[in-house]
């Protein structure tokens, strides 16, 4: 498949999912930014956290299409996704998960976060999340 065709295919898949204004690169940038937010101490509530995780799900939709995931032109993009995934996994509590969603990034619980996220995890799941606040 020619390079331009694979990018068109990505666009078509994202459009079908209702995210036609996105591209693979914008999704990777958003995933990276979200991970950076989590490294600094995610400071929003759990519903916003779940909403922001959707970006990784959209990337997964692209990865699930073999015409996209096997395209040589996208190999370096997906290598970056996997590198970011490893970075995000390091921010999650080992052996702790919530049963929401079917993917590891949806089930993981941050080690440290702001008060709203931490309070939610404690009150709903009984999971302690370290505070980034003084």
- Concatenated DSSP letters of 51-115: HHHHHHHHHHHHHTSHHHHT-GGGHHHHHHHHHHHHHHHTTEEEEEE--SSSSHHHHEEESEE-H
Mean of per-residue pLDDT scores for the chain: 94
Q: What is the pLDDT of residue 132?
A: 87
pTM, to two decimals: 0.93
> What are the tens digits of pLDDT across the range 95-118?
999 976 689 999 999 999 999 999
| Whether residue 4 has pLDDT greater than 70 | no
Taking only the tens place, the pLDDT of each residue in 65-92 is: 999 999 999 999 999 999 999 999 999 9
Q: Give me the pLDDT at residue 99, please.
A: 76
pLDDT for res 8: 94
Average pLDDT estimate for 47-66 = 96
């Amino acid at each position: 498949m020619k390079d331009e065709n694979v990018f068109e295919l990505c666009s078509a898949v994202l459009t079908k999912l209702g995210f036609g204004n996105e591209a693979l690169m914008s999704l990777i940038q958003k995933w990276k930014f979200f991970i950076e937010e989590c490294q600094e101490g995610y400071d929003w509530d759990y519903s916003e956290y779940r909403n922001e995780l959707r970006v990784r799900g959209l990337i997964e939709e692209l990865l699930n299409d073999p015409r996209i995931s096997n395209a040589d032109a996208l190999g370096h993009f997906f290598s970056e996704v996997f590198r970011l995934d490893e970075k995000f996994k390091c921010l999650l509590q080992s052996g702790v998960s919530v049963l929401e969603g079917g993917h590891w990034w949806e089930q993981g619980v941050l080690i440290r976060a702001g008060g709203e996220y931490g309070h939610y995890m404690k009150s709903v799941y009984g999971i302690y999340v370290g505070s980034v606040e003084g």
